[in-house]
Chains A and B, each alone.
Chain A
């Protein structure tokens, strides 16, 4: 199947582009610039044949309207056009857009799917290089190499390594633990853990038995302890009751001895003792009180008493209070008198300061009122403020007048100010135009560059010696005429080339046939029918000679016989050989016929060649005539097409140079205009003539003018400000003067009110201060004066009272100070009062002692009576007998109480047993052995407790062990871990098994593929490789490497064998291409050939390699159409240089098909 055309109706970014592939072109080179759409066209071929999938990027622009058309030619010569639209159903259409079944296309595809088409029949530079790299990585192993090249698959080795690597991670390669081993280790560890954690029945039973034993031991020990406790209890009871029984017996004996004594009250002894004591005490008290009465009476009679003083005691007592006052007044009086004198002296001094004709007492009462004095003080203060205000107003007025005069002088000094606005405007305007100096320089450089480029291009333009203007104006033929004439010339050239090629081919064929004939004949006579017939004729002739001799009966001539036999043998031999070599004969005959036919075709071809040469000469003449008016001797159409493009480029450069010149001039004009604007404003013109310098000078001038203007404006403003301020300042001075006049009037009135004739404010201040002093002394003076009067009065009254008291107490008058007299009287009165009080007290004591004596006598009599009654109860006559009776009664009572107490103690100590039982138990015991037995019992009990503790501990331990066993040690968790590990190991083992099977079968499959494909494929690839390398490498052979693997070796023309790894990258690219082409050829021999579409395949090839590759692709193109997309002109040029009619070059997008020969 071949592509006739590809119509990109609406596909990718392209619309209405048609690529037509020449019918007879074995190799079609499609040349297009980058981004022109070559890759899009390449994808469109696949999409047209196999459908545009849903999310195809080719539909990004046209969406559902995406369409691509294709015209195909089958091997049998039939053609059909198809349109493929984007969609899910009915996407295959005929050119009239009628849906077609996919089967309509399938007959062209021969059953090949998209992947086969794209994988086997598609190749680009990257995949070529990747394939070559893969070859090296495969170590030249022939199976993988052939398979990879044949299927377009890469990465076989990587895939095998990937599988190996993963398998190693699972099972390992003897270096370290891998997943399976780790999982099995984990399984073993978990199993050990489970076994360790399992509670074994035997262990449980043992623990259970041990626990039961511990419980039994505890019970036994407790029983022993109880027995020991019982005996201990009994013996200790005996020890307790024995003394009690003895005490009981003793008490009972005592009681029996005094059983006949009369019963007396419990407290009879106490009563007897108390009554006898009371009686004795009462007798002692009676005697003591009688003595006391006599002593007290004597003391009372000895006291000294003063009734006169007691009669005057009220007067004397009344002297006590005024006495203290009088003593204080006498002490304070001199100080108060000094105060009075001091204050009077202060007032007298103030009066002297005032100069008034008054006594101090008068002045004290004539102090002016406080409001009048405050008014004078306020006015005094206002006076100073008014004076300051007046002085300040006068100073401000003077200063303003001075500044005004200074401003007037400054204004008169300053020159008139210039107006900088025009200059500022010019500067701004010039600046707004931008950096015109730099712009002009840039433009000039651009102009020079454009001019230089134009000159260079013009010089490089062949076939032309004039300038650019002449080039633009020269009379060139019209494009249609050029196209038509060029097409005719190309056609003629193609025809001539083909004719020459046909002649050469026929001559080559003839030479081949001749050589083959020589080879078939092997230098021998070919037993053709004619040769056989000639041999038979010769044999017949010899026979006739011999027969004639025989017929005549003459003896046969030996020579004739030999000649006949020789002729006969030769004929037979030829006949036999003819029969034997029928095939060679037939081939020889065929070759002869072919030689004849070829000779005839050669003649025809030579005739055709002459005609073609004539047509070419005519076309060349037309071509030259076409260009003659322009004065140009033309090259080939391709050269002229290039010349036209170069001319257009030159004209574009000329236009660019003109535009640059214009831009340069425009900037120059703008610069001059700016300079013209500034120059009148700048008196000192800069010497360098640049706009920038001029602009700086203008800026400086403008700034100076603006400063002068601002200075004059400031002085004028100051003068105006001072002039405006003067009237207000003068008014302030007048106002201050008027305020002082008003103050003077108020001052006169105020000082008159405080009695001061003087108007001097400073004197007024001194007067005010003197009046202040008088006022401050007046009150203390008056107070001290009053106090002196009061003191003198109280001293006189106290002296009179003293004298009266002396007279009442019947004491003689005395000259002592009243206070001393009063003191003495007081002391005497106090003594008299004490004696009187003592006498009264002693009287009371006497009465009391007399009453106590009477009470003691009564008590003594009562005690006597009670003792008599007690004696009567005891039946005795005196107190001595009574005391003995009381003692016997006490002894009997005590014995009875002890008996009762012992019986109670016996009940407690005897653990509730009665006295008889206890006596019986005690009688059986040996008191001497009791202590020893109890000691032994305590020791046994202690041992028993220790044993019980041990048994209890053992039981606790056994209980805990059993409880732990009941809880278990989570052996189930370990068992679960075993299962986890088992699952991991299973997964690893299964995965490894799959990987191993995959690896083994994949490698075996590749080897099988090699064995099946190696010989024919490698033979073809070998020839292609030799052709691609220009004979540097003669062949490819297979060999075994050190691992026993079959590998490819390249054989140099010298016979030297070269492993793949030693080949250069470029050579390896060629090897991969050779393998690939051989595979495609093999595929095409067995199935419908599809177009081999290559994209920028030869980008890494140098020209020699590329040329060889193009030749190989042309050869392949005779079997399967080859379309080579490229954006390299040199590839197209190389293709054209092949000069083969089987090679066509298409410029992408132009839709034109240029025969390669013509393109060259």
Chain B
């Protein structure tokens, strides 16, 4: 017997970080979470799984388009086998979740009032799950999960930040792997962390990661976990990629490189990423670092770097679309740097003037306040003096570049 474990599908949520003027074909981006979900259903049918478990965050919390729920219902009809659905923090606040009261009969939603156990006697399986009643669940829900059903394969379904050492995700229903293991279940189907993590084997405690990467921080293969059960015991929990496009963060060190060397290094960064994408389009952020004579040239030629990466991807037999190009190089400590040293000193001294710093921060705060709330949370505009000092390095690079630019 096999079953499929997925989580954090975030149906119809958009990709982040892509610019409107980018040259990424619309068909690559359009509906990618839907296509990934369809691919997952295809996989479930092809593998003839007994059932599917979705451990939360099927929808995006603030997503209101009801056609998303209808799409999910249509895919469930296509699946035509049991699907056990747990509400995560996003689903709890989702208008769709609250309104979609007519799911196909094969979809079983775990109760949000208490931990619900569902026994599938014909399969010898018992599932236990507790949906999020609302977005913020600060307590450890796993504590309320019942003791394992005897003689059955017990699967705990839980949406949780677990211990989340990276702290990248919001803290919800925290718990520890050790506590989960002590429950005596055979498999914990977790959700919420977007990166695939196997916290423990036997018993298996698995975050399958999200189904489709949606920004440059969600790199690598994305998909679900295919669990194989033999003689009432789990023998394998394999990752299966169902994403339709990949993200990559490619950092290229340009230290001491001339143009040919840099091209070669970009190629060496791109080639394995293309190979890993396994034929999928690759959206990549290209970050060039290091001390190089090419510093000035690179700063004015983002498109050149992007074109080099695209060429390298072509040569590697794949497709790469630069999400953005970040030039983080610096010029060797000589030449213009030395000539501009007095000015740089005077420039940096401005940060020692409290009035000047206060005026700058006030201006930047006003700028930030004029941005949409979503953007305010992510935009890199300094809020305090320490951040302003770090920011001033970039500003100096701009000033130096303007000074070095030839007269029109």
Residues of A within 8 A of B (CB): 113-116, 119, 147, 150-156, 158-160, 162-163, 171, 183-184, 186-187, 194, 197-205, 208, 965-973, 975-987, 989-990, 992-1002, 1004-1006, 1008-1009
CA distance A973 to B34 in the complex (A): 12
Expressed in whole angstroms, the minimum distance between the Cβ of B376 and any Cβ of chain A is 9
Q: Which residues of A contact B67 (CB under 8 A)?
A: 199, 965-969, 971
A198–B70 CB distance below 8 A: no
Q: Answer whether residue B360 sits at the interface, using C-beta atoms and an 8 A cutoff.
A: yes
Pair A984/B372 contact, Cβ less than 8 Å:
no
- Chain A residue contacts of B348, Cβ below 8 A: 1001, 1005
* 7 nearest A-B pairs in the assembled complex, by CB-CB distance: A968-B67, A201-B99, A1005-B346, A980-B20, A997-B395, A998-B395, A1005-B347
Size range of the interface on B? 35 or more
What is the bound-complex CA distance between A971 and B20, given in angstroms? 17
Please give, as numbers and ranges, the residues of chain A lying within 8 Å of B370 by CB-CB distance.
Answer: 184
Q: B66 touching A155 by the CB < 8 A rule?
A: no
Q: Kindly list chain A residues whose C-beta atoms are within 8 Å of the C-beta of B378.
A: 986
Q: Which residue of the partner chain, among B30, B99, B360, B408, contacts A204 with CB atoms under 8 Å?
A: B99
Is the CB–CB distance between B372 and A971 below 8 Å? no
Residue of A nearest to B31 (CB): A972
- Chain B 74-101 interface 0/1 with A at a Cβ cutoff of 8 Å (1 = within): 1000000000000000000001101110
Q: Could you pull out 15 A-B pairs where Cβ atoms are within 8 angstroms?
A: A114-B334, A116-B339, A159-B403, A162-B402, A184-B371, A184-B372, A197-B65, A198-B65, A208-B102, A965-B67, A971-B12, A981-B20, A985-B371, A989-B381, A1004-B350
Q: Is the CB of B399 within 8 A of A1002?
A: yes
| Min C-beta distance of B377 to chain A, whole Å | 10
Q: Besides the contacts A152-B339, A171-B367, what 17 more A-B pairs have beta carbons closer than 8 Å?
A: A113-B338, A158-B408, A183-B20, A198-B65, A201-B66, A201-B69, A201-B98, A204-B99, A980-B18, A982-B375, A993-B381, A996-B360, A1001-B347, A1001-B395, A1004-B346, A1004-B349, A1004-B353
Segment at the A interface, from B138-146, B168-176, B310-318, B386-394? B386-394
- The answer on a CB contact under 8 Å between A115 and B342 is no
Inter-chain CA distance A205–B66, complex, in Å, is 10
Question: With contacts A113-B334, A989-B371, A998-B395 known, is A156 near B14, CB below 8 A?
Answer: no
Q: Are A993 and B367 in contact (CB under 8 A)?
A: yes
Distance A514 CA – B320 CA, assembled complex (angstroms): 87
A978 vs B18: C-alpha distance when bound (angstroms): 10
Whether the Cβ atoms of A979 and B14 lie closer than 8 Å is yes
| Central interface residue in A153, A197, A976, A996, by most chain B CB within 10 Å | A976
Residues of chain B whose beta carbon lies under 8 Å from any beta carbon of chain A = 12-22, 26, 29-31, 33-34, 63-71, 74, 95-96, 98-100, 102, 324, 334-336, 338-340, 342-351, 353, 356, 359-360, 363-364, 367-368, 370-372, 374-375, 378-382, 388, 391-392, 394-396, 398-399, 402-403, 405, 407-408
In the complex, residue of chain B having the shortest beta-carbon distance to the beta carbon of A147: B343
Q: How far is the CB of A601 from chain B (nearest CB, A)?
A: 43
- Check A984–B371 contact: CB distance below 8 A: no
- B379 near A986 with CB under 8 A, answer yes
A966 to B102, CA, bound (A): 13
- If A198-B65, A984-B21, A1006-B346 touch, whether A997 touches B96 (CB-CB below 8 Å) is no
> Given A996-B360, A998-B398, are A199 and B66 neighbors across the interface (CB < 8 Å)?
yes
Cα distance A990–B371 in the bound complex, in angstroms: 11
Per a CB cutoff under 8 Å, which of B16, B338, B343 touches A1006?
B343
Task: Report yes or no: B399 in contact with A998, Cβ–Cβ below 8 A.
Answer: yes
- Among A184, A197, A985, the most chain B Cβ lie within 10 Å of the Cβ of A985
Contacts of A205 on B, CB cut-off 8 Å? 99
- Decide: B398 and A976 in contact? CB cutoff 8 A: no
- Measured CB to CB, the closest approach of chain A to B66, in angstroms, equals 4
Check if B372 sits within 8 Å of A994, measured CB to CB.
no
Report the minimal beta-carbon distance from B78 to chain A, rounded to whole angstroms. 13
CB-CB under 8 A from A1001, the residues of chain B are 347-348, 350-351, 356, 392, 395-396, 399
B245 CB to closest chain A CB, in angstroms? 13
Chain B residues lying within 8 Å of A197, measured Cβ to Cβ, are 65
Task: Give the complex CA separation of A81 and B371 in angstroms.
Answer: 65
A115 touches B30 (CB 8 A): no
Q: Which residue of B lies closest to A165 (CB)?
A: B402
Query: In the bound complex, how far is the Cα of B324 from the Cα of A116, in angstroms?
Result: 37
Chain A residues in 8 Å Cβ range of B34? 972
Which residues of the other chain, A, contact B408 by a CB distance below 8 angstroms? Answer: 158
Q: Are A972 and B65 in contact (CB under 8 A)?
A: yes
Question: In whole angstroms, how far apart are the Cα atoms of A150 and B403 in the complex?
Answer: 15
B394 & A982 in contact (Cβ 8 Å cutoff): no
- The reply to whether B64 and A198 contact each other, CB–CB distance below 8 Å, is yes
Chain B residue at minimum C-beta to C-beta distance from A966: B70
Chain A residue at minimal CB-CB distance from B402: A159
Instruction: Quote the shortest CB–CB distance from A973 to chain B (angstroms).
Output: 6
In contact, A153 and B375 (Cβ under 8 angstroms): no
Contact yes or no, A994 B403, CB < 8 A: no
**A1013: nearest chain-B partner, CB-CB:** B342
Please measure, in the bound complex, the distance between the C-alpha atom of A184 and the C-alpha atom of B376, giving whole angstroms: 13
Whether the Cβ atoms of A1000 and B350 lie closer than 8 Å is yes
CB distance from B146 to the nearest CB of A (A): 33
Q: Is A1005's CB under 8 angstroms from B343's CB?
A: yes
CA distance A503 to B118 in the complex (A): 118
**Structural contact, A994 and B66, CB atoms closer than 8 A:** no
Q: A113-B338, A201-B95 are known contacts. Are A966 and B74 too (CB-CB below 8 A)?
A: yes
B98 touches A115 (CB 8 A): no
With A986-B375, A1001-B392 already in contact, the answer to whether A978 and B14 are too (CB < 8 A) is: yes
Neighbouring A residues of B22 by C-beta, 8 Å: 980
Closest to A205 in B: B99
* Residues of chain A contacted by B375 (CB below 8 angstroms): 982, 985-986, 989
- Beta-carbon contact of A998 and B396 below 8 Å: yes
Q: How far is the CA of A977 from the CA of B398 in the complex (A)?
A: 30
User: Which chain B positions have C-beta within 8 A of A965?
Assistant: 66-67, 70
**Chain B neighbourhood of A994, CB < 8 A:** 391, 394-395, 398
Whether the pair A1002, B367 counts as a contact (CB closer than 8 A) is: no
User: A153–B360 contact, CB under 8 A?
Assistant: no
* CA distance in complex: A415, B20 (Å): 106
Complex CA–CA separation, A1006 to B349 (angstroms): 11
Q: Is there contact, CB below 8 Å, between B346 and A1008? A: yes
Interfacial chain B residues near A969, Cβ < 8 Å:
67
A1009 touches B346 (CB 8 A): yes
* Contact of A198 with B350 at beta-carbon distance under 8 Å, contacts A158-B407, A985-B375, A989-B371 already known: no
Residues on the A chain within 8 Å of B345, using CB: 1005
Assembled-state Cα–Cα distance A992/B382 (Å): 12
- Kindly provide the distance from the CB of A195 to the nearest chain B CB, expressed in whole angstroms: 8
In the complex, A357 Cα to B19 Cα: how many Å? 135
Inter-subunit contact A153/B340 (CB<8 Å): yes
With the chains together, A183 CA to B370 CA distance in Å?
A: 12
Which of chain B's residues has its CB closest to A1003's CB? B350
Which of B14, B392, B394, B396 has the largest count of A CB atoms less than 10 A from its CB?
B14
Contact B403 A155 (CB under 8 A): yes
- A194, B368: Cα distance in complex, Å: 24
CB-CB under 8 A for A200 and B398, given A976-B30, A994-B391: no
When distances are taken between beta carbons in the complex, the residues of chain A under 8 Å from B356 are 1000-1001, 1004
* In contact, A115 and B403 (Cβ under 8 angstroms): no
Residues of B with C-beta under 8 A to A183: 20
Within the assembled complex, what's the spacing in Å between the Cα atoms of A1008 and B356? 12
In the complex, chain B residues whose CB is within 8 Å of the CB of A975:
12-14, 63
- The answer to whether residues A1002 and B98 also contact, given A966-B74, A968-B70 and a CB cut-off of 8 A, is no
Tell me whether A971 and B65 are in contact in the complex, defined as CB-CB below 8 angstroms, given that A983-B17, A984-B20 are known contacts. Answer: yes
Residues of B within 8 A of A1006 (CB): 343, 346
Residues from chain A with a CB closer than 8 A to the CB of B340 are 151, 153
CB distance from B60 to the nearest CB of A (A): 9
Instruction: Please indicate the chain B residues that have their CB under 8 angstroms from the CB of A996 in the complex.
Output: 360, 363-364, 367
- Cα distance, A980 to B374, chains bound together (Å): 13
C-alpha spacing A1061/B118, complex, angstroms: 89
- A115–B343 contact, CB under 8 A? no
Nearest CB of chain B from residue A105's CB, rounded to whole Å: 16
A985 CB contacts on chain B under 8 angstroms? 371-372, 375
